Chains A and B, each alone.
Chain A
């Protein structure tokens, strides 16, 4: 065990002491900050803050809407304007005075459903504004029936003026967590996986391997390399999460959009839970590849085999949105390389049962254990194969081929 730790420590210090590690550590968050900053800016510019009307058929609205003027680029509050009838509100919308209007039906206190008729689809800002307005009005009375439900706010049934389109509020925001998990998974796994791949191939290239395996067992050596390189990745991850947290604290007042992100604790917890076995699986697979090839150049060519499947969930985003419990979504959430992103994506669009989440997690742990076993086996077979790429039959044959 001590030698495993010595190998892990060396691998960790070897990468952390390199300039490229520090460049990557700070350059990537800066790049992401720039991209997110730009997209938030574009999103803020594109948010329509023109007024939204309302038609009260319930007689519950007694307070006049609060008047406010635009407070800056990120102020997405909208002015609410009351109309007597749906026809009047529709006419105002058609004339461009308002971008949409809300109908408070007569049975609102039993249904808590609002009809939202729009020219431009509803966004989180409007939803929040209308919800607050409804809450203020309902709670203004001395007796508030069904207080808990009132506080929860209304449900929106949203459709265009002509009834041809419906929409749910901002699908992009729902995908924020899966996107972030995906990007972190990509970057961390690819970076530490590449380090691992490189470490194994370099040891073959510079012939250090024979000295190493007469000092420690191949299993200890491989375990140490995996632990060391995963620790490098986790260090990066921790620093980035800390940076994101600090950035959120600094910018939360200035960018209200950040509050609207669908940051479900369950979704985050499941993502993090799945990251570890996925991480081990990928790292072990990289090490396996490293043991089969003969030089760094060849290793870079074959690492694409691992990286490509990780991107699969992004190709199927539309399928995830439409059929989060469909075959493709399910297969990708059990497939080890795509599991963290696919599972989090599914959770954004459907409610996954705890049973299924546990099932996915157990399957990922099994894949991870299998991959480490495979890495050890391939490593033993391929470590002294200096001049020849290891073939599948070599791995499962009785003995390694001639070095």
Chain B
């Protein structure tokens, strides 16, 4: 896990470096191709200029040679075909004009009568094109490039007929233009050693090539060059050259009347783009070096500036996670965001430590409170036990004297009635009744306190049935009353049967008590199921009560009616409330004075509990 995340961070840094280098690489390559194209264009332009120059030189040479030959042909020694004088003259011209390979004169039969350089044996030229054409056209003609018989050099023979004053043909003068010389001009240029110059005819056939004429004369130029030549008088091309390497070409056509001749120059592409290629390699090497340096910086820099602080922070975090809240990454923070992160971390640790201390304090406090609460609970339980004992005592010991008071008052009334006047008998009756009431009060109080501690035994109760039973029991105590009860369908209740019986008894008894004087007394028991609870209501048509006092209704010893009128101890509804409270329900009541009252209670639905 640790290694992977470090590798990930590091590889991300490296990826960033690579992404930064990539545009540089693209730029380098772009500038390489751009520079290469420019270099090619420049070289081709230079080539074209050179080709043009060579063509112009060639034209000029031809034209000059024509003037020379025309002049020579008129000289008397030439007219005479004076061998010695002519050869001296030719030699002199040759000496001054290095571009001539040879000068010669031939008689009309084709025998050379004088030449420079001098030849020992007889030389025959009847087969030469220039000789035939000069005799035929009796004008200046340009021959084919050939290997000169006199000069032993590749040359073009230019010829002019020797005509006497009557216009009769006396012979032919010829000058051999040294093509080697023309080619050597190329060698003097800035072009590389392997560059070549060629003369071709309009079909692209090589008439002469410098250097190595023997190897290439008679061959056809490369197709790309021939195509370019058909498209224009001058131009450039690139393609596979005759020596079998990639070459750049330029060509220029000679002006009319020599338009059948082209000068072409070719040189190797490698030379043209050599500088650009070297630049490319240099740039690539620099770029590589920069990349290596940047990658190394990213590799070690990531370790130094990111991974190490992160590792430290991580170690601190792990110790913190292990529970050591005092650990901090500071006080020496790395600069930048990681430093801020470390500071934030320390702040977090501070706050965590503070909170834990607070938490411990709160827990300790809580434990103390719990202890106090336990103590208090124990005290309350003790108090409760005391109260129970007290209740028990009360129930026995308070009732016994009451029984005596009531009992002996009664005995007095029965046994000594004759000795008492009317008031005396009334007083004894009051004592007897009050004693009975107090007994009832004690019974109710006991019932109320019993409810608080009795264990509840929850069972499913058919409420309608229970109401029926309870009402039937109560009815026997009110035989003189005309009571009507309407028990509607009631939802079943999950409750303590004994307690629920008490609740229903108290509510029904209340209804019966407060309908005193109604003929008939109507009691309606209804119920409904709601979402979370079941509701039961007991409605009567009795005297009702003022809603102003509704809050007092369920409090112990609270009565809303004078005691004498309806009786009761003021405990019944308090019992109802306590029972319903213990079941988790609610009690409430609604009424209007004189219009009866409705007492309701709810119990949690059986399926909810």
Q: Do A and B come from one complex?
A: no
